[in-house]
């Protein structure tokens, strides 16, 4: 159980901008977490801008990307080997734009989390904001969930809502949701690392 450990070491996987990664580390630096410590970051894409944020911090930046390997499974094995060497207990996906394969899922059972910019189970997968606008819903938001073998389908840890505006474009909606993502992700990470929880069926229950 994650929350039984005195310190929980986290690795982050991203693909691009990395604003969620930055927000989590900033919360950590501000003393928000009692146990969580981000120890390393990696990207499947070479030169992902988000990696730069690790540069002057005590965070190991893994230097290989998916293109350095013959298959996604080989890239995942590299992540597992390097992150386990650093004692990673929890894998945080922060804008990681690949399906998570069996290699990662087996290495961190019930210990991989993701954030998605919609109220799941609505609008999973790519282009969530465009899907949201096209459907015409009146409320949207973001979801933090455990990762399973499906597409954005794992047990939900937390959600925040954002009202839709008639004037919304993909840009304005994603910006408004992103502000909530930056708070929600750290809030959920705090809960799963500091509180007792369990999953029954597919519902995450917190004991207090």
Rounded distance between C-alpha atoms, residue 201 and residue 128, angstroms:
26
Distances (CA, A) of 154 to 113, 117, 124, 136, 203: 9, 15, 11, 25, 10
Rounded distance between C-alpha atoms, residue 25 and residue 186, angstroms:
9
The Cβ-side half-sphere exposure at 91, using a 13 Å CA radius, reads 28
Among the listed ranges 1-9, 29-37, 58-66, 112-120, the one in contact with ligand GRF (CB under 6 A) is 112-120
> Three-class SS of residue 80?
helix
Mask for 175-194, x = binds ligand GRF (CB under 6 A): ---x--x-------------
> Three-class SS of residue 85?
helix
The answer to whether 154 contacts ligand GRF (rule: CB under 6 A) is no
Dihedral (CA of 49, 51, 52, 53) sign: positive
Number of residues engaging ligand GRF in binding (CB under 6 A):
14
Among the listed ranges 78-86, 98-106, 111-119, 189-197, the one in contact with ligand GRF (CB under 6 A) is 111-119
- Given 12, 76, 89, 116, the residue binding ligand GRF (CB under 6 A): 116
DSSP state at residue 32: -
Rounded distance between C-alpha atoms, residue 25 and residue 197, angstroms:
23
The answer to whether 20 contacts ligand GRF (rule: CB under 6 A) is yes
Looking at the Cβ atoms of 117 and 158, the one nearer to ligand GRF is 117
The answer to whether 16 contacts ligand GRF (rule: CB under 6 A) is yes
The answer to whether 19 contacts ligand GRF (rule: CB under 6 A) is yes
Cβ-proximal residue to ligand GRF, closest one? 95
Active site residue 116: yes
- Given 79, 115, 147, 192, the residue binding ligand GRF (CB under 6 A): 115
Looking at the Cβ atoms of 16 and 155, the one nearer to ligand GRF is 16
Catalytic residues: 116
């Amino acid at each position: 159980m994650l929350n039984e450990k005195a310190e929980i070491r986290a690795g982050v996987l991203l693909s691009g901008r990395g604003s969620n990664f930055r927000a989590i580390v900033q919360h950590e630096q501000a003393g928000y977490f009692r146990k969580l410590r981000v120890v390393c970051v990696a990207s499947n894409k070479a030169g992902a801008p988000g990696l730069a944020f690790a540069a002057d911090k005590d965070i190991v930046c893994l230097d290989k990307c998916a293109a350095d390997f013959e298959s996604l499974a080989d890239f995942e094995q590299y992540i597992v080997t390097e992150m386990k060497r650093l004692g990673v207990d929890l894998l945080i996906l922060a804008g990681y734009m690949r399906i998570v394969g069996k290699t990662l899922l087996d290495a961190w059972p019930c210990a991989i989390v993701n954030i998605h910019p919609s109220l799941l189970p609505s609008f999973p997968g790519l282009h969530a904001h465009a899907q949201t606008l096209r459907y015409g819903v009146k409320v949207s938001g973001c979801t933090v969930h455990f990762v399973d073998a499906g597409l954005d389908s794992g047990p939900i840890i937390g959600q925040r809502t954002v009202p839709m505006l008639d004037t919304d474009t993909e840009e304005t909606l994603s910006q408004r949701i992103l502000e909530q993502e930056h708070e929600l992700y750290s809030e959920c990470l705090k809960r799963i690392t500091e509180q007792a929880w369990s999953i029954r069926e597919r519902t995450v229950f917190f004991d207090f």
